[in-house]
Amino acid sequence: MVKGLEFLTLGVLVFTGGPTHASSPLVLNPPRVVVRYGDSVSANCSTSSTDHEGMGWEANFGGTGFEQDVNIVTWTVDNLTDWTIEPKCYTNLIDGEQPSKVLPVILYKNPDSVSISVLSHSGPIVEGTKYQLQCDIQNIAPLRNLVVKWYKGNEPLDNVAYSNVSKTPVDVSPTLMIIPNRDDDGAQYRCRAELDLGPEGPQPPLIMTSEPLDFTVFYPPTFSRPESETLDIRVGEEITLNCTATGRPTPLYSWQSSHVQEALFTPPSEVPGTYTCTASNQIGKISKTFTVNHKPKGDITTLWAILGSGLVLALLLVIAYVFVKHRAGPNSII
């Protein structure tokens, strides 16, 4: 029984022993720091162990050297500008070991600028064509905390994150492919750089947004009712043919023979026939045909109604005449 316990104790000792200590005797406070480039920073390193000779911070900036018989040492820098700094706290134990702990430092920097452009393109944006928008983010660190967000107006389009572990500032230019349509005419595209540095970082997270990219989308003329139209016209009546098309730039119009440059056309009423209108702009053109017919003559029932009322009127006149003549007597001149 006792032998078994000893075996167990031995087993535990073997497990926790060895050249490195399983749990460090050093406590960092705060356990990690997030610092803006050029700002001041400090962190404490303390130990509760009693079997040490002293401790210290080792760093390119703010190192303390070895301090004897202390339980806490402070690393502090007034103006942190070393992108690769790795402050390390250590203690010298009596048994000759030197456990240490590195303080994770995230040094960050706002981008110098964030701007948006259409990649390798000048001139009008045409509906249905592919374009690459590019967001230029200058001199930002660290890249792995950056999220680039794309917006059209207030509508989020896409997010881009980076896994790059480099600590020094970099320039990045993510792109977004778009195929604009006519509804995007007048839209404002933006990109936004967000540095999310966690709860130790600035709150709310740092955000820098580009100026909006104003979008003018050119598209060919389109009719709201694209089919040809047939209209009936009475002699002497005036009629207007409406060829209005939507398009950007604003379409120009031409009519079959006459060179009318407007969307509306009043054909001479005595000339029924076919009128073709073409709406065009620099993107395309579209045509529409109007067929103008004389309104057909009144139908058969109207004809009979007219004839019928004429007969009734004639009959009434005859009766009236006979009646008047009878009253006036045979000597009358009627």
Ligand X SMILES: *[C@@H]1O[C@H](CO)[C@@H](O)[C@H](O)[C@H]1NC(C)=O
**168 binds ligand X per the rule CB under 6 A:** no
Q: Quote the CA–CA distance of 80 and 122 in Å, as a whole number.
A: 43
Q: 58 or 229, CB closer to ligand X? A: 229
Quote the least distance from Cβ 7 to ligand X, whole Å. 44
Build a one-symbol-per-residue string for 236-255: x at contacts with ligand X by CB under 6 A, - elsewhere: ------x-x-----------
Q: Quote the CA–CA distance of 195 and 154 in Å, as a whole number.
A: 20
Q: 72 or 328, CB closer to ligand X? A: 72
- Do 145 and 197 touch, CB atoms closer than 8 A? yes
State residue 212 phi and psi, 5-degree precision: -70, 145
**164 binds ligand X per the rule CB under 6 A:** yes
Collapse the DSSP code of 112 into the 3-class scheme (helix H, G, I; strand E, B; otherwise coil) and give the result.
Answer: coil
**172 binds ligand X per the rule CB under 6 A:** yes
In the DSSP assignment, the letter for residue 309 is H
Q: Quote the CA–CA distance of 218 and 214 in Å, as a whole number.
A: 13
Q: Which listed residue (44, 71, 113, 175) binds ligand X by CB under 6 A?
A: 44
In the DSSP assignment, the letter for residue 95 is T
Q: 215 or 265, CB closer to ligand X? A: 265
- Do 59 and 88 touch, CB atoms closer than 8 A? yes
Stretch binding ligand X (CB under 6 A), from 72-80, 108-116, 249-257, 281-289: 72-80
Quote the least distance from Cβ 88 to ligand X, whole Å. 17
**202 binds ligand X per the rule CB under 6 A:** no
Burial of 34 (0-12, 13-18, 19+ CB in 10 A): buried
According to CB under 6 A, which residues from 90 to 129 bind ligand X? none
According to CB under 6 A, which residues from 294 to 323 bind ligand X? none
According to CB under 6 A, which residues from 20 to 39 bind ligand X? 29, 38
245 Cβ contact list (under 8 Å, min separation 6):
221, 222, 223, 251, 253, 263, 279, 286
Chain residues in the site for ligand X (CB under 6 A): 29, 38, 42-44, 72, 74, 79, 81, 143, 164, 166, 170, 172, 224, 242, 244, 264
